[in-house]
Every structure is written in C-alpha cells, then in structure tokens.
Amino acid sequence: MRQTVTLLSFLIFSLQASSQKNGTIKGTSFDTSINKPVPNATLTLMKKKDSSLVTFTMADNNGRFQIDGLPNGEYRLLITQVIYRNAIKYFTIDDDHREITLGNVAMNDKNKTLSEVTVSAEAAPVTLVGDTIQYNAGSFKTRPNANVEDLLKKLPGVKVDKDGTVKAQGEKVQKVLVDGKEFFGNDPKIATKNLPADAIDKVQVYDKLSDQAQITGFDDGNSEKTINLKLKADKKNGRFGKATAGAGTGERYEGKFNFNSFKGARQTSLIAMGNNTNAEGFSFIDILNFTGALSSQKNGGDINISISADDPLAGLIGGNNIGINTTWGSGINYNNIIGTKTDFRSNFFYSHYNPNRQTNIQRQYFSPKNIYKQHSYTDKQNNSQRLNFSADYQIDSFRSLKISPNFSYQKTDNKTVSDYSTFSEQGEKINSSNSNDITNSEGTNLSTNILFRNKFGKRGRTFSLNLLTNFNNSEGNGNLQSVTDFYNGGSLFLSDSINQKNKNTTALSGFNAKAVYTEPIFKKSQLEFSAGRSYTKNTASKTTYDFNKSNGKYDLINEPLTNDFVNTYSYNTAGLRFRRQTKKYSFAVGGAWQQASIEGHTKNLKDSAISKSFTNILPNARLQYNFNRFKNITFNYSTNTNPPSVTQLQPLPDNSNPLYIRLGNPKLQQEFIQTLRLNASLVNPFKNRNLFAFFTAQQTQHKIVNYDRINSLGVDSVLPVNVDGVYNLNGNLSFGFPVHFLKGTMDISSVVNTYHGRQFANTVENTINTITVGPQLRLDISPTDKIDITLSTSFKHSKTTYSLPGAQNSKYFTQEYTIDFNWQFAKKFLLVTDFNYLVNNQYSTGFNTKVPLWNAAISRQVLHFNRGELKLVAKDILNRNVYVNRSANQNYIEDTRVNSLRRFFLLSFTFNLNKTGLSNAENKGGVRVVR
C-alpha cells in the first residue's frame, strides 16, 4: 500500500511540475485583404529541428486558436485552409517566454496571382476530404526499412493487433487498396506487411460503399472499413521494392522479396517470401476443411476457413505463436486501364503452409464426470493457388458491366498421430486408444460475380442485377488405423481395432441472383424494390474399405461407414425498403419475404428422403445520426437464416477419433438469427482523441448445437440438434487521448461478452451461461526523438455456469503485460526489444503457466543512401515460449497446450530496391511549388 501511495504521489507531483513548466501559443488566422478571420483553419505544430509532429488542432469559427501544454523548445506552426495559402510561424518556449501571442496571422487567398515567387508548401499531418480521414505519411516517423504496418501503428485512431489485423476508428479494416485499386485481392496483410512505408504519401481511411450503394448514392449497410494507400509521385511512375535474406540457429531461415513497377494506371507488383520462423506475410486461406469437404463461400467469391468447432485449434490458423510453421508464398498483381472504358484488375498467389504441432488436451466432462486426455502430433501440408480477375466495363455514361471470376485450387496432405485416455472421477482408467490418421485431398473452386448497373436520367432512379455462380469439388482419401482398449475395474476386458481406408468426393454448385430497382419519391428519400433467387446443390460420397487379412488388401466395404448423400438448399426473396438521407441523419426500414426449402436423400438408404420448407419475414432497419462531422451513432437491426451444412446433415459417423464420434442429422432445420448492433464513434482527429463503442445482441432460433451421448465405455457420440433460447451479447468500449507531459497517447478499452445457450448430455438438458470481461490499457510515449516506448496491460476474467446436475462451473483469469522499446542509440544503429509476460490462472494442473517472452534486435544501416540494413534478431531469449488456452464447451471444460517455436537467433540483410534509396527519415513529405 505504501508503494502505491508513493507512486501516486510521484505521478501527481510530475503532473503539477509539468503543468507549471508548460507553455501556450494563441492567435487568430486572418485574411487581411477582406479584414475578416479565416474560420476552421488546421493548425499543425512541429519541432523546428526535424519537423516531427507535436500536435494538431483547428481554429474555431472566428479563427481563434490556442495550444497549451508545450514544453520548452523551438517550434514551427503550420496553418492551412483549403482556399488559402499556407502560413508558417516560428517561436520558442522557454522559462522567460511561457505564453506566445501571435495576434492576427495573415493568410493569403489562393486566387490572388503571384509572380516569380517560390512557395514551400507542407502537407498537414491530418486533413479531412469529405468523409475521408487523410494522414500525411511523411509526418509520422518510422524506422528505416519499415513496412506499411509499422506506419499504421503511428497513426492516430489506427491500431494494429499482434496478428496483423488493422483497426481504424475502432472497426476492423476489411480492405487495403493501393491508389484506389485492390492489391492481391481482399487480403489486407499482403499490402500492410509487404509494401514499404517510405513509398506511401497519404493514408486514407473511409467506409467503402458496396458496388450497389455507389450507384444508388445511399449506404445500404454493407460498407467496409477501408484503407487506401496513395503512393508518392515518384513511386506512381517508378520502380521500388526490397529484398531480405536471413539465416540463424536451429536451421531457421527467412527470406522476403517485393518489387513494384507503377506507371499511371498500370500497377505491377511481385512478391515472394519463405520462412520457418512463424513470420506471416499473408493471411492463410483454406478452401478445404480438415475432413476434405469444401468450405462455404461468401458473396464475391471470398473463401472462409472452415474448421470443426470440436477442433481444439479452431480459430488459431495463422497464429504466429502456435506450433512451428513453415510458410512459402509468391504472387503477381497487375492492374491497368484497357482502352478508355475497361478497368482491369488481376492477381495470382501461390502459398505453401506447413504447421507442425504437438498438442496436449485435457477435458473435464460433466455427464458422466470423466476426465479425457489426448496427446497428438499433427503435420499438415497445404498448397494452394488463387487466381482472381475483375473487368469493369463502362458501356456508356449510364450503364456498366463488371465481371469478376475467381479460381482457387488446393492440395492438402495431413497426418495426425494421437493417443487418448479416459478416466473416471476416482482416477480409474475407462479406456485408452491410439490412432494414426492420414488424409489426402484436393479441391477446386470457381466463382463468378457479374454485376450490371444502370442509371437513368432522373437522379436516384437505378437498376442493378447481380449474379453470383459458384462451382467447387474435392476428392480425397484417408487411411485410419487405431487400437482401443476398454477397462472394467482397472482390468482390460475388450479391445477393438480399426484398419480401413476411405474415399471421399464432395461437390457444390449453385447460384445467387438479385435484382434491385430504386425510385426517388421525395427530395431526399428513396424506395428500393428487390427480388432474389438462390439455389445450391451439395453432394457428398464416402466409401470405406476394411482391411482383408485373407489377401492383404482393402477390399471389404464397410456398409455403416459408406454413404452417398445429396442435398439441395434454395430460397426466393422479395423485399421493400424505404430510405431517407439528410446531412444530419439517415434511416432505412423495410423487410423481405423469404421462402426456403431443403431437400435431400441418401442413395443407399431407404426412407431417407428429406423435404422441408420454411417461410420467413426478415425485417431490417438502420438509423444513423450525425452529431457533427466526427461524431455519429448507428443502430442496425437485421435478420437472416443459416442452413445446416452438408456435413451436419449427412447421416454418417466420423470415427477418426474412436472415442469421440461425430454423427450427422438429416432432420436439422435452418437457424433463424436476429441481430441488433449499436455503433457510436466520437473522433477528434486533430487532437488525437477518440471514443468508440460497439454493442451487438444476437438471438438464434433453431440453433444447431451438440447432443452428447457418452456410454459406459467412455465413447462420446455427438449428434447435432436444433434448440431455441440461445442468445449472446458482445460489447467493446475504447477511449484514446494524448498524454502531453509524457509526449504520448493512452488508450483505455474494455470487452464484455455474455452467452446463454442450451445443450443435451445423456438426455439431460444443460443450460449454459458465460460472461467474460477484459479491460485493457495501452500507453505510447516518445520521451526523446530517438526513443519510442509502448506499455500495455490487459486482464481477462471468464466464468461459465451450467444447469447440468453435478456440473463443475468454470472460471479462469489471464493477465498480460507488454513493453516495446525502440532506441536509435547512434546515427545508423537501432535497438528494438519487446517483452511480453502472460499469466494463466485457475486452469487444470499442468496448464497453469507464466510465460515470459523476450525478443530483441539490433540493426545498422549500410551502403550509399542507407540502401542496406544488417540486422541481428534474438527470439524468445528466455526460451520459455508456449501456448496455453482454456475453453468452456457444452459438456466439458477443455485445457489445451501446444508446442511453440523456442529460442533462436537470426542474422539478415535487407537491400532497398528504390531508385533514389531515400529513407523515410530523409523524405519529410514536403512539396515545393514554383510559380
């Protein structure tokens, strides 16, 4: 307690001392030609010595401005306004000059003709262009050879998570464009992790409307948070890139290459990478799940990772702290304007992803109260190729046609060796098993998105027709060998073995068509009429062969594990919406009628036909209120349906884990989901202050959940079933603000999640309630021009309660503390180090861990114009890296422990391929205009 009081006293004293020494500058932006103030001018304060940013703000409607909290130093004040020429003032804050009064600062109208005058114009760090927040990249210092991700970390209101996910104004960035065009499709990480920061002139953040909304002029609720990277003038008509090669201890290696050639509308980019250091250069995209079935598709042909919810590593694909991963990737991106009417875009990308993982799992079942333990080794080889095209043809000034075909191919080879055991509550062994499961599969996916858009002579009257086709298929084979022993009273009484091969084929074909017509009815209002038709056909065939001891071949067909299943899902929709949009607010309200049907049958089973139809009214509403240009609140209510997957419907057991068998249920109904979202954004980009609030409430009828049946031998058979009464609430609150006396910024945020669900275990209903809370604190400071420090801490507490008799409620607590330190301790030397301390509490025995992870790197710039960089990296210096996780499921609590890449050292060399070789520190983003 005494230490806490001492620390608080020190902070209070520091604040008081800082406030006593801080200075102030004030004045008025003024147009002397008309003798009136210039309202809403942007004021940017920089250090005189190196033009590094100190702060920025705006003048009021009367041109008055004031900046407080300035420590001693020499400064340069830049005053900008869109129709005026820039004004620059220099001043000094010291012990004798605490308050600087500039009076009326003269600003000249751009319309006034000047002759034989040289004007140096500097871009303001942050400006607004309509609804777009625009950052001047040259105003934010990054280390030599930094990539775009490093630049984004410096921008006010923009965050980059550890996995490379970018968030702007509290929302996840879905797309990253380069000069308004897609860069290697819809994977933001390829742009942020491979493009050099010193090639960027401006970073623009905005909400990109859907193609349809861009025609109607109204936001249809499908906008995506987007970052557009505007290149420097010399890069738009030049060549640039970087090449890196490195090798280290433990046979670690790392290589990366990117080359860009831009000339006007023509953009050509080449990238290549390879490493076994768990470094990521792209997002891993999987068109096949680990059972060989093709995953579902989103509109536009984007591909989702599809992993069974029972997989302990679900959601962890691509995590750079999980297992030991070898990654290769290469590709080409080409964009150009063909003729005068066709905007052509294309990209090809190849990736090889090979994760090796050793996993330990412990499950505490509730009914019956068994303990399940599993140890497995997994080696997966994933090779994929993606080819995307897009041609947007402007037929005339009113009509356009956009065609976007996408093709993907993937080949997957997986090998998993596992051993399992189940124990009673008293510690008595119930069963044990070991298995060797090998699967090989390959699949293709072809989707085409065709969009026809037509504007009429009357503003707001439009017609659009969108057609999405999708065709994919996969073929695979597997080999499963296992031996399972069952015990009674500690004595072996039954042994069962499996030695079989199987062949799998799946196919999907379908289309989704939607026509939309909009008609203006009032000055700022519009009616939208829509109609749609969707049809999807899934086929799944599996043939299982048992080993024939008489001839040594796999030629005995296992009938219970052999199936040929056909399923179709289709729906028709018709919708009507009314929308009104003003400068202050916009709202839309409407609904859609949907009639859906599911049909299916198993070819080799009698009376297996499924025929179901569903009729739903799907209401929707959206309201956005703008308090001003930087503050708004949005309510969004939507409904949708979700059909069961072919894997869930297929009445065929999956026995790859002999103690955990997954079944299919052809009687499943579609889920009906209602979602209510509240988003509030309060941003002051000039003072680097922001407040974001996001809340989502979701309720699901006919939710598909697991029905567990565990027999006396400890074998769990899991059947998907429909239940009602499932809902969840999620909330996120974030507040960021500057801390002037520390020369930094602070971000305080918190996450709250609740879940209410239902499930069945051995005929007994189990109601589940989970609540998770997690406050976070982050402080970024730059005490000197040579030092950058980031301090962060986060806490997460989760508690799950069950209604199941005798169930053990679950709770766990994690803490994480992080420090990042960058120090340029000599002219060409840079030291970078980070330390992360993770504490897991209240896990099962053997899973409670304290993980200190320390990394460091020292680099030196070499060669003319600093075009080279020599770097020595030390990863996991303390050799303590490990991954541990706890999850609360319907009928058990599961703790997972996965091996991770441990300590290694890597020496690398980076060569800058820029023609000029100028580093970011040498190019401040200034522009010289001569008249």
For residue range 862-917, what is the model confidence (pLDDT) as tens digits? 988 888 899 999 999 999 888 877 776 667 778 888 888 999 999 999 998 875 43
Q: What is the pLDDT of residues 8-21, one digit of tens each?
A: 344 444 444 444 45
Phi, psi of 213 (to 5 degrees): -65, -30
Mean pLDDT of 832-856: 80
Mean pLDDT of 161-183: 80
Q: What is the DSSP string of 257-271?
A: EEEEEEETTEEEEEE
Selected residue with higher pLDDT from 656 and 520: 520
390: pLDDT confidence band, cut at 50, 70 and 90? very high
Instruction: Give pLDDT, residue 607.
Output: 57
For residue 511, pLDDT beyond 90: yes
Instruction: Give pLDDT, residue 418.
Output: 93
Phi, psi of 583 (to 5 degrees): -65, -30
Instruction: Give pLDDT, residue 918.
Output: 40
Share of the chain above pLDDT 90, in %: 31
For residue 602, pLDDT beyond 90: no
Minimal CA–CA distance to 509: which of 572, 448, 452?
448
Within 8 A by CB and 6+ apart from 784, the residues are: none
- Please give the Cα distance from 616 to 638 (Å, whole number): 13
For the chain, give the mean pLDDT: 81
Q: Helix/strand/coil (H, E, C) string of 114-183?
A: CCCCEEEECCCCEEEECCEEEEEHHHCCCCCCCEHHHHHCCCCCEEECCCCCEEECCEECCEEEECCEEC
Instruction: Give pLDDT, residue 475.
Output: 93
502: pLDDT confidence band, cut at 50, 70 and 90? very high
Instruction: Give pLDDT, residue 218.
Output: 60
Alpha carbon separation from 334 to 211, 346, 449, 548 (Å, rounded): 21, 5, 19, 55
For residue 312, pLDDT beyond 70: no
394: pLDDT confidence band, cut at 50, 70 and 90? very high
Mean pLDDT of 842-861: 79
For residue 123, pLDDT beyond 70: no
Mean pLDDT of 653-672: 78
Residue 213 · residue 464 · CB < 8 Å: no
Instruction: Give pLDDT, residue 119.
Output: 43
Instruction: Give pLDDT, residue 859.
Output: 93
For residue 922, pLDDT beyond 50: no
Mean pLDDT of 153-180: 79
Selected residue with higher pLDDT from 840 and 604: 840
Instruction: Give pLDDT, residue 4.
Output: 41
Selected residue with higher pLDDT from 709 and 383: 383
Instruction: Give pLDDT, residue 878.
Output: 95
Instruction: Give pLDDT, residue 417.
Output: 94
Q: Give the pairing of strands 744-761 and 703-710.
A: parallel
- Please give the Cα distance from 534 to 514 (Å, whole number): 9
Mean pLDDT of 570-599: 90
Instruction: Give pLDDT, residue 287.
Output: 64
Residue 162 · residue 836 · CB < 8 Å: no
296 DSSP 8-state letter = P
| Percent helix / strand / coil, the chain, rounded to 5 | 10, 65, 25
Q: What is the pLDDT of residues 43-84, one digit of tens each?
A: 888 888 767 777 777 788 788 988 888 888 889 898 888 778
Instruction: Give pLDDT, residue 8.
Output: 39
For residue 373, pLDDT beyond 60: yes
Selected residue with higher pLDDT from 114 and 832: 832
Instruction: Give pLDDT, residue 925.
Output: 36
39: pLDDT confidence band, cut at 50, 70 and 90? confident
Mean pLDDT of 637-647: 82
Please state the length of the chain: 931
Instruction: Give pLDDT, residue 10.
Output: 42
Mean pLDDT of 340-359: 91
313: pLDDT confidence band, cut at 50, 70 and 90? very low
Q: What is the pLDDT of residues 199-226, one digit of tens each?
A: 888 998 887 877 766 776 666 656 788 8
User: How many angstroms from the chain centroid is the CA of residue 316?
Assistant: 12
Selected residue with higher pLDDT from 341 and 146: 341
Which range scores top for mean pLDDT: 360-364, 421-425, 445-449, 751-755?
A: 445-449
Mean pLDDT of 597-613: 73
Within 8 A by CB and 6+ apart from 288, the residues are: 294, 295, 306, 410, 412, 441, 442, 443, 474
User: How many angstroms from the chain centroid is the CA of residue 82?
Assistant: 35
Instruction: Give pLDDT, residue 285.
Output: 67
